[in-house]
Amino acid sequence: MSPSPAGLELRPLPFPVSVDAPDAGDFLEMVRVRNEVYREINGHDDESVEPAELLPMLRRQDYEIQLFWIVILDDEVVGRVAVDLPREEGSRVAFWRIELLRRVWSRGIGTAAYDLVEATTREHGRTVLQSWAAHPDAPGPRLEPPTGFGNIPVDHAARFYLARGYSLEQIERNSALDLTPQVLAHVREQLVEAERAADDYRVVQWFLPTPPEFVPGYAWMKSRMVTDAPAAGMEFDEETWDAARLADHERPYLESGRTLQVTAALHVPTGELAAFNELAVGRDRTQATYQEDTLVLKEHRGHRLGMLVKCAGLLSWADVAPASPRVLTYNAEENRPMLDINERIGFVPIAYNGAWKKVLS
């Protein structure tokens, strides 16, 4: 381990029972710095979140251990460290992130934080460390993943990973769609075309909590997100989803006041759910919307169901959050079928993330 910089403290962060609790100060500071870091990276506030909305997400521990530390330098919170450990039996993987304000870069803080990350993962018996980082475009050398799709600049973050033995496995595209009347008119045209190709399917929609009749099918599709979505060289545990796990997933949305709409395609001959799309927004519905999971089950592909559920969701969203200015989404750069749909709808790329992996000896 490298010596820590003078005045540095990596303080474990317990999650308070509420943002108003007497011991919530460290948590509130963590959220403030989180939002500032993302503002520095992105140049906008679309990824900002309110403490009361983030806290319920982090207090979920039944299916994943979430460990946090705040980074304190000379009595000031300047970053955060997180390690997520799936609870699947026999899991080898750990997911981590280190986020620091730019003005404290290159002072050995990231190295000290990473030493903590690796020590923590070893203590929990994990050997596959995986992490994602934003890589804003910049001149100079580029790095490509083994997939052959996309590239990133060899920037500050890339050099940090490479120096610690990580390999770039995948590029993730962040795309945005401005929700203008012209765009929605175009989405309506795309929906009509998709409906023609999906004769045996009909659209069903709901807000959380999921109605009982859709719980088994929705839980099954959520479990398939791990096995059916392109993962390149990244490693994910196969997950078992049942009614209890789905309820655990939905509870933070309900507690925080976030709105999540599910748009699904129902296969009429069998009564089975075949595809789904999620749109979510915070309590302030004038903020950006997130398109979260989207999946078409492999056995139902070829009927334009991805276009069907995305367009139907976007059109109904105009009534849910009419003042939300745009929708953000993330896709693997090699996921050409889903990117084709997004591009045809009107999504444009605005940023790229790198997916990084290291296997410990």
Over residues 234-268, the pLDDT tens digits come to 999 999 999 999 999 999 999 999 999 999 999 99
**Residues making up the chain, counted from first to last:** 361
In a domain, residue 2? The reply is: no
Q: What pLDDT, in 10s, does the model give residues 205-223?
A: 999 999 999 999 999 999 9
Judgement on whether residues 31 and 147 belong to the same structural domain of the protein: yes
Task: Give how many domains the chain has, as a whole number.
Answer: 2
pLDDT at position 278 is: 98
As a whole number of angstroms, the distance between CA 109 and CA 97 comes to 13
Identify whether residues 160 and 20 lie together within a single domain: yes
- Mean pLDDT, residues 121-125: 98
Whole-number pLDDT of residue 292: 97
Q: Are strands 348-359 and 128-134 parallel, antiparallel or unpaired?
A: antiparallel
Asked if residue 357 is part of any domain, the answer here is: no
Pair 150, 237 in one domain = no
Q: Do residues 260 and 335 both lie within one domain? A: yes
* Residues 186-196: b if buried by 16+ CB within 10 A, e if exposed: ebeebbeebbe
CA–CA separation, 17 vs 23, rounded Å? Answer: 9
Confidence of residue 2 (pLDDT cuts 50, 70, 90): low
Q: Which domain holds residue 243?
A: 176-352
- Find the CATH number of the domain harbouring 272: 3.40.630.30
35 within a domain of the structure (yes/no): yes
Residue 215 belongs to some domain of the structure? yes
What is the per-residue pLDDT for 291?
A: 97
Non-local CB neighbours of 244 within 8 Å, separated by 6+ positions: none
On whether both 95 and 198 belong to a single domain, the answer is no
Residue 3 is assigned to a structural domain of this protein: no
**Does the residue 225 lie in any domain?**
yes
* Dihedral in degrees, nearest 10, Cα atoms 251, 252, 257, 261: -70
Looking at the domain assignment, is residue 360 inside a domain?
no
Element (H, E) at 313: helix 305-320
- Tell me: do 243 and 263 sit in the same domain: yes
234 in the same domain as 113:
no
- Reported as type and span, the H/E element at residue 8 is strand 8-12
Based on the fold, state whether residues 134 and 17 are members of the same structural domain. Answer: yes
Q: What is the pLDDT of residues 40-77, one digit of tens each?
A: 999 999 999 999 999 999 998 999 999 999 999 999 99
Tell the residue number behind the tokens 């992130």, with chain if given. Answer: 97
pTM of the model: 0.95
Instruction: Name the residue type at position 313.
Output: G
C-alpha triplet 65, 67, 69: angle, nearest 5° = 175
Helix H or strand E segment including 153? strand 152-153
Asked if residue 218 and residue 137 are part of one domain, the reply reads: no
Residues 58 and 202 in one domain: no
Over the chain, what is the mean pLDDT? 97
User: Of the residues 173, 199, 225, which one is the last residue of a structural domain?
Assistant: 173
Q: Are residues 162 and 310 in the same domain?
A: no
Domain boundary among 173, 193, 223: 173
Structural domain ending residue among the three candidates 147, 173, 199? 173
The verdict on residue 358 lying in a domain is: no
> In sequence order, what are the residues at sequence separation of 6 or more whose Cβ sits closer than 8 angstroms to the Cβ of residue 182?
none
239 and 265 share a domain? yes
